[in-house]
Structures are given as C-alpha cells and as structure tokens.
C-alpha cells in the first residue's frame, strides 16, 4: 500500500481540513503518512493543493504520481489530471463544478447534495469528500468519529451528528459507485504520531526550558509562533508578537540576559532585520536560539514556496566576527532533538544558534512511533543566587575555554554588565587595543575548538562503501533518503545528509573517506548557487562535481529526483 491522495482547489475551499483530517485518520490507524502543501500567497481563490501519501512502511517524501485526486474546482482537474497513475481516480462533484467527465477514471460524488441531505452546511461537503476518500480505500472510519469528536466536541451533538452523517453518506456513496476502485487498506497497527517541523521545534524548545518566545509573523515561520501561543498557558511561556523583527530579537536578548531561555523565529526579510541583533548577541555573549524558515527570495519573493538559499546569510549574518552554530534538521524528529541541542550549545557557549528550515518542511507532516524524551539534555549553566556569585563577579572574566560564568542580574550584591561596545572583563567600555585583542580571543578563538567538538558528523545512509554518494542538507533529507532506497536496488549508493551544518565537525575523516572513494558524488540543493556544496568545498577542499538544483520554489518530488539522479548515474 503506497497511495498518494491529492486535494486540489481554491484557498478557502477547505482543502486543509480535508488533508489534515484524512492524514490524522491514517496516522491514528497506524499507517505512515507524509503530507505536503502547495498554496499561494492569498486567502481565498487561486490554486492550492494538499498531498497526502500513506503507506504501511515509512514514507518521507511526496510522489509525482497521484492515486486519488479530489478536485474541488475545475482548475484542479486541468492541472493535475496528467499526474494520475494508471489506477488513479479523480473524485469531484459534477454539479458544483458545473462540468461532467465521463471518462472511467472520474468518480462524481455529489458532495454538496449529500451534505445537504445530511442536514449540513457547505463546510460539511468536505466531510462528504473525506468520506468518499476513505470509502474508496475501504476504510470504515471509526477513527474518524473520535477525531471529529475531539475537534468539534464543543460544537454540540447536532453538529457532530450532521458531520458524521455527511461522512457516512460520502463513504457509502463512494463504496457503492467507485466500481473501478482497486485500492485496499493494509491492516492497521499502532497509532503513529503525526507532526510537523514547527511543532517539533516548539516542543523541543519547551523541553529545553525555553520560556520566552517573541516573533513577528512571517510565513513560513509563523507556525512556531502559533505553536508557542497554543502552549503558552499550559507551559507558562511568555509569548509576544513584537512590533517588528528588530524588537523581537532584542526582546529575546533582554529576556536571555535576565536569565530566561529565549528564542525567536522568522523568515528571509525578517531575518535580515535581526542581523544587527545577532551581532549584539555575538558581542554580549548572550545565548539565543533563532529559527530561520527559508522561502524563495530575494525580498518578498514567493512567500508560500520553498527554497534553501539563506545558508550563507545565516553563516555571515552580523557584522564582525563571532562564533555561531547552524543546524538544518531534515525532518521533525531531527528538529526536535536539534532544537534541544541548540539550546544546550547556545547556553553552554553563550552564542547564537540558528535552526534553518524552509516552507516545504514547515508545511509537511511526518509520522513517527514517538520521540524519545530520554535523549534530551538539560544542563543549567547559569550561576544562580547570591550565595554562589561573589560581589566581585565579572561578566566577561577571562577563562581557559573563553566561557565566562553567566549570572542573573538583580539577585544579589554583584552586578551584571553587558555592553555592545568592546568591553573589559567587567563589561565596561574600553578603548585600548590589548583588551580588545584579549576579548576577541576569548569570544572567538578560545571557544571555537570546543564548539567544533560538539558537532556530529553527517549521516551516511545506505551502502557502507558507496560508489555513488548523494549529498544533501536540511529539508531534502526525506526525499534523498527514499531516492537512495530506490536506487540502492541497482546501485551501490548512499546519502550523506548534513543536519549539523556549521561549524564542520573536527573528525571529518569518516565522511570524507566516503566522498573521496566514491565514483560519483552529487549534491542536491533547493537553490541556484550551490551554497552547501560551496561551503563543503571551503571547509574540506572537496569539490562535488555534480549538482542538482531546483529554484522554482517547488520541492523535489520522488520520481523526478530519481530520474535526474539516474541520468547522472547513467553517464558514469
């Protein structure tokens, strides 16, 4: 079982409800699910779609070939009919689309009529559609009942019943009328967790003691702000929508100075506005975690599409020289653990740590059996309370490893002074060259080797001594992984995936060996200028000869990537 269901239509037609609901049904039934979304920068109209892949084995990417296309408008048929697989079916409501298709791969389900019959409103037409999808695959939908109850619980029994009736009507109609339907459902198993990367980052942050999140809304980073907001009360988190991104990062730095683990998140243009604040974090050695959800740029670009073109910006954001760490998780699970590591390193070394994601990852959901909370780390690095901090406390005391003890202001007789100017050990402005030199060495040179040691090597997945290595970073993880799985049937191939992107780890021998002995190395990036390949070259000297780039704002899809990879392999 490996089906792809695509729901297409205009913004505001309920595509997201349908997609979210069926994914939840599938994951709760124990299937593996991968979803991705494609939408325009508008609130109503245009053309959007939501793609759900389900399987009884792990799936981590979207496929080109569609099995069930739910067309909520004509445009969806026009655009996506060609994507239909040989057994594929297009479900639509002929009367509301005002167009009838008589070809055998069309199934007309009167969404509206059935929902009205069930006593429902137009929103319930979506329930009929959900019913039709499940019916076609042969899923009964008991799970759906409870999901409907959970999400609509407070809307009253009557609405609830109408929804369920609508669902049943759709399901039964599809069962009865889809004579060509050859789908089957694998036996269900243990419920899976269905989660996206923004939720995973939020959870990872909360589990790491983050108590302060401030941001200015910006797609696709807003999901993190939403998540924090939704958990603010429960976990006692101060969440504040700032007046702009400059304020957001400065507030977060204020909170961190005051002793609270804090974080901010943004996207391209918003990140640009934080660049000066990042430099301030560098100078004042205040721990801060910044999530940067990339989208196609320059400027406003394509606000709801995907790209991986802000790596160099993150690498060099902020004037002057100071250490930083950059993570680029490949999936929500990595995001969860890396966010935890981000907080730990940021507080341990008193540096800014960036978590890079992108729209594709932000709008994808993945299934897991669960997250291992015992793999999380929490170490309190702050000096706390009068008893442990001497009155002569110096915020920037010179130390062996460059890390000075970090005390909390207002809690004793000592004082905590930080300064954006170059400063002495006490934090006061200086002018002399010698102190400057010592502070650069403390802040930058002394810390760097320790930070490098913390970095994990990239993940080599697939053949252990591969002829072909496909290199990726961040959000291409899932798709490269599946492509490699597929190609491994005929080739000695492996994926080398970097989720800890910078600084490069010290002991690079392991993966460098794989790169050097491979006959073919290929770097896959969602950008036009091979940013990661250039970074790898700068850091290791290794020049990846073949690059696959996509910069039209759309993610790679499985069959497409396999085809391009095959093309290169064929030329070996």
Ligand X SMILES: Cc1ncc(C[n+]2csc(CCOP(=O)(O)OP(=O)(O)O)c2C)c(N)n1
The strands making up 66-71's β-sheet, listed across from edge to edge, are 106-108, 84-92, 66-71, 2-11, 45-55, 32-38, 365-368, 193-196
Task: Report the DSSP pairing between strands 193-196 and 212-215.
Answer: unpaired
Work out which of 94, 181, 238, 488 binds other proteins, going by CB under 8 A: 238
Residue 363-402 contact track with other proteins, rule CB under 8 A, x = bound:
-------xx-x--x-x-x----------------------
512-531 burial: b if 16+ Cβ within 10 Å, else e: eebbeebebbbbbbbbeebb
d(C-alpha 297, C-alpha 270), whole Å: 12
What residues between 220 and 249 interact with a second copy by CB under 8 A? 246
Residue 83 or 363: which CB sits closer to other proteins? 363
In our burial notation (b when 16+ CB lie closer than 10 A, e otherwise), range 89-117 reads bbbbbbeebeeebeeeebbbbbbbbbbbe
6 in contact with other proteins (CB under 8 A): no
Binding mask 271-290 for ligand X (x = CB under 6 A): --x-----------------
How far is Cα 109 from Cα 123, in angstroms, rounded to an integer? 15
- CB of residue 269 to ligand X, shortest distance in Å: 4
Residue 362 contacts residue 224 (beta carbons within 8 Å): no
What is the C-alpha to C-alpha distance for residues 359 and 306, in angstroms, rounded to an integer? 5
Instruction: Note every long-range contact of 481-485, with CB atoms under 8 Å and residues 24 or more positions apart, other chains counting.
Output: 481/60, 481/61, 482/59, 482/60, 482/61, 482/558, 483/61, 483/558, 483/561, 483/562, 483/565
Give residues 546-565 in contact with a second copy (rule: CB under 8 A). 551-554
Please, which residue, 266 or 339, has the CB nearer to a second copy? 266
Q: What are the backbone angles phi and psi of residue 36, rounded to the nearest 5°?
A: -145, 155
Which of 300, 377, 399, 529 is the binder for ligand X (CB under 6 A)?
A: 300
Cis peptide before 116 (omega within 30 of 0): no
Tokens at 551, concatenated: 């910069």
Cα(145)–Cα(354) distance, integer angstroms: 41
Nearest to 418 by CA among 315, 288, 291, 313: 288
For residues 476 and 497, what is the distance between their CA atoms, to the nearest angstrom? 8
Q: Does 419 bind other proteins (CB under 8 A)?
A: yes
Question: Does 46 interact with other proteins (rule: CB under 8 A)?
Answer: yes
Q: Which does 565 bind (CB under 5 to 8 A by kind): other proteins, a second copy, ligand X, none?
A: none
Q: Which of 217, 320, 385, 449 binds ligand X (CB under 6 A)?
A: 217
Our CB check for a second copy shows the closer of 365 and 550 to be: 550
Q: Pick one of 183, 216, 337, 511: the residue that binds ligand X (CB under 6 A).
A: 216
Q: Which residue's CB is nearer to a second copy, number 283 or number 469?
A: 283
Judged by CB under 8 A, does residue 214 bind other proteins? Answer: yes
- With CB under 8 A as the contact rule, which of the stretches 110-118, 191-199, 229-237, 435-443 interacts with a second copy? 435-443
Based on the shown chain and the rule CB under 6 A, indicate whether residue 41 belongs to the binding site for ligand SF4.
no
Q: Is 279 in the site for a second copy (CB under 8 A)?
A: yes
Q: CB within 8 A of 97, min separation 6: which ones?
A: 71, 73, 74, 77
| Residue position matching structure tokens 């060259």 | 433
Size of the site for a second copy (CB under 8 A): 62
Question: In terms of Cα–Cα distance, which of 97, 171, 102 is closest to 130?
Answer: 171
Work out how close the CB of 430 gets to other proteins at its nearest, in angstroms, rounded to a whole number: 10
Q: Does 192 bind other proteins (CB under 8 A)?
A: yes
What's the gap between Cα 59 and its chain centre?
A: 16
Q: Min. distance of Cβ 555 from ligand X in angstroms? A: 21
Q: 115 is in the binding site of which of ligand SF4, a second copy, other proteins, none (Cβ under 5 to 8 A by kind)?
A: none
Q: Which two tokens stand for residue 7?
A: 């729901």
User: How many CB atoms neighbour CB 44 within 10 A?
Assistant: 8
Among 269, 405, 409, 427, binds ligand X (CB under 6 A): 269
* CB nearer ligand X, residue 189 or residue 300: 300
Position 268 contacts other proteins (CB under 8 A): no
| Complex with other proteins: residue 423 or 442, whichever CB lies closer | 423
Alpha helices (H) in 70-110, listed in sequence order: 74-80, 94-97
Q: Is 318 in the site for ligand X (CB under 6 A)?
A: no
As given in the structure block, the two tokens for residue 11 are 């913004």
Contact with ligand SF4 (CB under 6 A) among 5, 9, 33, 43: 43
Nearer to other proteins, 106 or 322 (CB): 322
- For other proteins, the binding residue among 185, 191, 438, 551 (CB under 8 A) is 191
List the single partner that 43 binds among a second copy, ligand SF4, ligand X, none, CB under 5 to 8 Å by kind.
ligand SF4
Q: Which stretch binds ligand X (CB under 6 A): 15-23, 134-142, 267-275, 457-465?
A: 267-275
Looking at the Cβ atoms of 29 and 515, the one nearer to other proteins is: 29
Binding site for ligand X (CB under 6 A): 216-218, 245, 269-270, 273, 300
Binding site for ligand SF4 (CB under 6 A): 43-44
Binding site for a second copy (CB under 8 A): 40-41, 46, 246, 268-269, 271-273, 275-276, 279-280, 282-284, 294, 296-303, 305, 307, 309-310, 312-313, 315-322, 419-422, 429, 431, 433-434, 436-437, 440, 444-445, 527-529, 534, 537-538, 551-554
């Amino acid at each position: 079982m490996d089906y792809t269901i695509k729901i297409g239509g205009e913004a505001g037609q309920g595509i997201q409800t349908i997609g979210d609901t069926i994914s939840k049904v599938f994951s709760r039934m124990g299937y593996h699910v991968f979803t991705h979304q494609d939408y325009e920068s508008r609130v109503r109209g245009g053309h959007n779609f939501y793609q759900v892949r389900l399987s009884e084995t792990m799936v981590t990417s979207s496929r080109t070939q569609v099995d069930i296309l739910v067309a909520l408008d004509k445009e969806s048929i026009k655009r996506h009919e060609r994507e239909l697989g040989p057994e594929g079916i297009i479900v639509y409501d002929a009367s509301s689309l005002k167009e009838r298709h008589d070809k055998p791969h069309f199934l007309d389900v009167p969404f509206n009529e059935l929902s009205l019959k069930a006593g429902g409103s137009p929103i319930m037409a979506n329930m009929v559609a959900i019913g039709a999808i499940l019916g076609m695959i042969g899923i009964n939908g008991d799970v759906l009942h409870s999901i409907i109850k959970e999400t609509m619980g407070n809307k009253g029994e009557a609405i609830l019943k109408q929804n369920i009736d609508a669902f049943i009507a759709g399901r039964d109609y599809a069962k009865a009328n889809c004579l060509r339907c050859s789908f089957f459902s694998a036996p269900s198993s243990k419920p899976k967790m269905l989660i996206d990367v923004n939720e995973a980052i939020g959870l990872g942050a909360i589990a790491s003691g983050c108590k302060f999140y401030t941001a200015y809304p910006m797609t696709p980073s807003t999901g993190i702000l939403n998540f924090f907001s939704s958990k603010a009360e429960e976990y006692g988190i101060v969440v504040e929508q700032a007046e702009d991104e400059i304020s957001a990062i400065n507030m977060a730095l204020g909170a961190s100075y005051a002793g609270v683990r804090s974080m901010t998140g943004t996207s391209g243009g918003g990140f640009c506005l934080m660049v000066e604040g990042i430099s301030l974090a560098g100078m004042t050695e205040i721990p801060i975690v910044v999530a940067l959800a990339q989208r196609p740029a320059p400027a406003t670009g394509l606000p709801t599409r995907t790209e991986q073109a802000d790596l160099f910006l993150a690498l060099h954001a902020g004037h002057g020289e100071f250490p930083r760490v950059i993570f680029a998780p490949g999936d929500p699970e990595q995001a969860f653990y890396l966010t935890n590591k981000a907080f730990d390193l940021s507080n341990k070394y008193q540096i800014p740590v960036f978590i890079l994601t992108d729209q594709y990852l932000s709008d994808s959901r993945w299934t897991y059996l669960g997250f291992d909370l015992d793999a999380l780390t929490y170490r309190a690095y702050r000096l706390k309370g009068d008893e442990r901090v001497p009155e002569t406390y110096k915020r920037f005391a010179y130390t062996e490893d460059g890390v000075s003890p970090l005390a909390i202001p207002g809690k004793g007789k000592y004082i905590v002074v930080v300064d954006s100017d170059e400063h002495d050990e006490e934090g006061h402005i200086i002018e002399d060259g010698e102190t400057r030199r010592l502070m650069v060495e403390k802040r930058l040179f002394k810390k760097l080797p320790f930070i490098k040691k913390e970095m994990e090597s990239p993940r080599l997945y697939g053949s252990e001594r591969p002829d072909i290595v496909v290199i990726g970073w961040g959000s291409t993880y899932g798709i490269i992984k599946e492509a490699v799985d597929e190609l491994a049937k005929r080739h000695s191939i492996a994926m080398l995936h970097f989720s800890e992107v910078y600084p490069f780890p010290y002991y690079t021998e392991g993966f460098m060996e794989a790169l050097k002995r491979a006959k073919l190395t290929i770097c896959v990036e969602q950008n036009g200028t091979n940013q990661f390949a250039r970074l790898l070259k700068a850091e290791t000297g290794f020049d990846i000869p073949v690059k696959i780039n996509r910069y039209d704002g759309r993610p790679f899809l499985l069959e497409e990537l396999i085809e391009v990879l095959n093309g290169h392999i064929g030329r070996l």
